[in-house]
Structure 1
Amino acid sequence: MTEATTTKIHWNGGIQGEAINILKEDGGMIVSPTKVGYIIMTSDDKGLERKFAAKNRKRNKPGVVLCGSVEQVKELAQMTPEIEQMYQQHWDEDILLGCILPWKEDAKSKIPNDGTKDLMMDKRETSCFVIKFGTPSENIAKEMWEKYGKFSFASSANPS
């Protein structure tokens, strides 16, 4: 990872290539806009470590997984038909939704074996799976997952 820099980049209205390039690097971390403020986004264990350090956040809370589609949530999280319907309704109505849900057994194997799991799940093996959090950040999360097979993890940019 290169030395940390502070750069303000204006949203290009689509997929922000600069953000993707940073998040593809080991330990990459960005601040990105959402519907309700700014978030810290990372995609690996080193980035998660940086996020925890930046926020002075306790490690016992479930992590936030940003999902660029309902299909991604379905692939990763255990859901009842009612929860699945709720996600679909919120997606269709463009309403922010995040639920703390257990991971599917086969989805756990998609988490890199580098310490990420310990930083993303609580002891119950749950995370908060979030959709419709704001177009700029949604575009990044969708691209990272669909094109690079990388998760987008987040936390609010304000101190814990």
Structure 2
Amino acid sequence: MIENDYLLAWGAYAVAALGCLLVWFRMTGWMWRYLREPLRVLVAVLLFTPTIVDPARELFAPAIAISALDLAFKVGNNAWRAVADLALYGIIAFVLYLLFVLIRWPLESWWKRRRAEAAPAQDEGDEPTLREVLARERSPSGARVEPRL
């Protein structure tokens, strides 16, 4: 395989993996946030983790493909290296995600408190709605109030 073929294959794989990731994002869009985000990180790690195939020529391939092919056809001994790479990149990705969550959590609570404090101030200056005006003008017998023309 020449250098151009190698880069073309990785380019095609990157486009396909981005398409798969986009589909996965759409499939998990309905889920609870703290379940959806780790699943998205997991699929991103599975799709984008490379592993070395030929150390002499520094050729890489997707780790999930290498481990699947080595286990299915029982050829080569790259499966354990691919699994180790998946585990390493997975740990790194989840630690970074955990740091992101730990930074985001206090910021979100601060933002919610700020919006809750600002909400009553906005409600005080608003004019009453038509329903509230009609409720105040309603006669004691409960009869309907018709508008005047």
Q: What is the TM-score with the length of structure 1 in the denominator?
A: 0.21
Structure showing greater radius of gyration is: 2
* Greater relative contact order (CA < 8 Å, ≥ 6 in sequence): 1
TM-score norm. by structure 2 comes to: 0.22
Give the structure with the larger helix fraction.
Answer: 2
